[in-house]
């Protein structure tokens, strides 16, 4: 194979050289033929026989050179195809030999392991027989004995058949067994952490799911972790995006923000008042007005 590979590399190099020279010779032929044609069209045909003869000789010489390179290139390409075919046949022989030897080694391993498996199964079944009074133990002993008998018979047929494949693969009668497919585990993307978009009534800063500090400007929309958004709603720092104030105020500051300003609220550090009612943000946005306690009592009594 090394000799064939070296020969093939040499032939391919020669083919490249011949192809390059053939292209150059063809260009010279076209140029010489063009000069001869121009002579026929422009020169005095009765007095310039010597120049015509010289041009015709140049055309003939260029044609001969070009055709010589073309013939050599065609022959080299034929040799390349023959060398590639021989190399492919050699590689197939090597691959078949390696595959057949691997199969033989695997069969040797099976034949060595089979007696140990059968003996271990028999020992285990005999041990279970001591618990003949126990239903499950007896069932296991019978199952192991039946399985061992079936495996022994099936292995006898399988090994004989596979031994025949060793020579068949080596001789090219049987194909090389395909490699065992290994299933590649596809990574499952982690779900994105839940977020909520709110409309900021005040400028604030907060940490996102990755721990990075974020800034939300006043009268702008901000998308933040759900727990942070709920805290901003409870504190009145933000309102839902359905709040009518959003349509009136959004973007009116024109991006004029200073994240380091003293009035920027830290949503992760601010403490909520303990007596702050835990209103639902949707209900808060509805602006319900509670009835007076006395009126409620009178209405209930009525």
Residue by residue, DSSP assigns 161-177 as HHHHHHHHHHTTSSPPP
Rg for the chain, CA atoms, rounded? 46
**Size of the chain, expressed as the number of residues it contains:** 302
Q: Where are the beta strands (DSSP E) in the chain?
A: 195-200, 204-207, 213-216, 221-225, 238-240, 265-266
Q: What is the mean pLDDT of residues 256-270?
A: 88
Structure tokens at 133: 């009074």
To the question of pTM greater than 0.85 for the whole model, the response is: no
Task: Sheet with 204-207: list strands edge to edge.
Answer: 213-216, 204-207, 265-266
The pLDDT assigned to 301 comes to 40
Structure tokens at 207: 């940490």
The pLDDT assigned to 135 comes to 86
CA pair distance 239, 140, nearest whole angstrom: 69
3-45 tens-digit pLDDT: 888 999 999 999 999 999 999 999 999 999 999 999 888 888 7
- Hey, which of 41-45, 107-111, 135-139, 289-293 has the most confident mean pLDDT? 107-111
Q: What residue ranges do the domains of the chain occupy? A: 2-97, 107-170, 195-301
208-233 tens-digit pLDDT: 888 899 999 999 999 999 999 999 99
Long-range contacts of 69-76 (CB under 8 A, 24+ apart): 69/18, 69/21, 69/22, 69/25, 70/22, 72/18, 73/15, 73/18, 73/19, 73/22, 76/11, 76/14, 76/15, 76/18
The pLDDT assigned to 302 comes to 42
- With 50 as the cut, is the pLDDT of residue 289 above it? no
57-102 tens-digit pLDDT: 999 999 999 999 999 999 999 999 999 999 999 999 999 999 999 9
Q: What is the mean pLDDT of residues 109-114?
A: 91
Structure tokens at 154: 């099936």
The pLDDT assigned to 136 comes to 87
CA pair distance 254, 256, nearest whole angstrom: 6
- With 50 as the cut, is the pLDDT of residue 105 above it? yes
148-192 tens-digit pLDDT: 889 989 988 898 899 899 899 888 888 888 887 777 766 777 788
Quote the crossing angle between the two packed helices 49-129 and 2-42, to the nearest 10°.
150
pLDDT tier at 132, thresholds 50, 70, 90 = confident
What's the CA angle centered on 188, arms 183 and 190, to 5 degrees?
165
36: CB partners within 8 A, 6+ apart:
52, 55, 56, 58, 59
CA pair distance 65, 59, nearest whole angstrom: 10
The pLDDT assigned to 18 comes to 94
Query: Would you give the DSSP letter of residue 198?
Result: E
């Amino acid at each position: 194979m090394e000799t064939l590979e070296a020969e093939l590399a040499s032939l391919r190099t020669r083919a490249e050289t011949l192809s390059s020279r053939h292209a150059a010779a063809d260009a010279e032929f076209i140029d010489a033929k063009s000069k001869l044609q121009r002579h026929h069209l422009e020169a005095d045909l009765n007095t310039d026989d010597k120049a015509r003869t010289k041009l015709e000789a140049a055309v003939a010489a260029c044609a001969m050179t070009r055709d010589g390179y073309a013939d050599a290139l065609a022959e080299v390409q034929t040799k390349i195809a023959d060398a590639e075919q021989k190399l492919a046949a050699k590689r197939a022989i090597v691959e078949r030999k390696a595959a057949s030897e691997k199969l033989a080694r695997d069969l040797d391993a099976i034949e060595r392991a089979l007696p140990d498996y059968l003996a271990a199964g028999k020992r285990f079944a005999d041990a279970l027989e001591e618990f003949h009074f126990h239903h499950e133990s007896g069932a296991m002993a019978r199952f192991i004995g039946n399985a061992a008998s079936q495996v022994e018979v099936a292995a006898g047929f399988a090994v004989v058949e596979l031994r025949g494949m060793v020579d068949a693969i080596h001789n090219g009668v049987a194909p090389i067994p395909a490699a065992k497919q290994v299933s590649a585990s596809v990574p499952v993307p982690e779900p994105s952490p839940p977020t909520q978009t709110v409309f900021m009534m005040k400028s604030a800063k907060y940490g996102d799911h990755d721990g990075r500090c974020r800034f939300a400007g006043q009268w702008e929309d901000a998308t933040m972790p759900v727990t942070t958004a709920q805290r901003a709603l409870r504190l009145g720092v933000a309102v839902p995006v359905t709040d009518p104030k959003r349509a009136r105020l959004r973007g009116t500051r024109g991006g004029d923000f200073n994240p380091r300003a003293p009035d920027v609220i830290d949503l992760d550090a601010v403490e909520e008042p303990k007596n702050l009612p835990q209103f639902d943000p949707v209900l808060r946005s509805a602006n319900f007005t509670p009835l007076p306690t006395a009126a409620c009592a009178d209405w209930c009594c009525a």
